[in-house]
Amino acid sequence: MCPKNYDNPALGGYLLDLIDLIKDEAFYGIKMYNKSHIKGKDYSKDNSYGEGYNCGYAHAYSRVISLMLQQAESFCIPLPDLGLDGIDPNKDLMPGV
């Protein structure tokens, strides 16, 4: 059975904004990993933390979004309502995939 709906517009706005911020950070992590993964290029001058750090960063956000998707299913919240539709963390957010 799905839990009760909450009628708090501030809560909804907060969650939707937070989800967008987390998605942005997740895709930023993949971008930085891909950038640091290019062989033969030294990114130490542009504040890149290196491949290992960027891989961990991207993986952590992939896990967070996976949990968000699982919780949405548990609470019977349609993914489009949260802006999480069309995201597959195992394909879109995993370094090296």
On the 0-12 / 13-18 / 19+ scale of CB atoms within 10 A, 69 is middle
DSSP 49-77: --HHHHHHHHHHHHHHHHHHHHHHHHTT-
- Structure confidence by residue, pLDDT tens digits, 17-57: 999 999 999 999 888 888 876 655 555 555 556 778 888 88
Provide the pLDDT for residue 25: 92
More confident of the two residues 13 and 5:
13
Q: Which range is least confidently modeled, 22-31, 45-54, 62-71, 86-95?
A: 45-54
Average pLDDT, the chain: 81
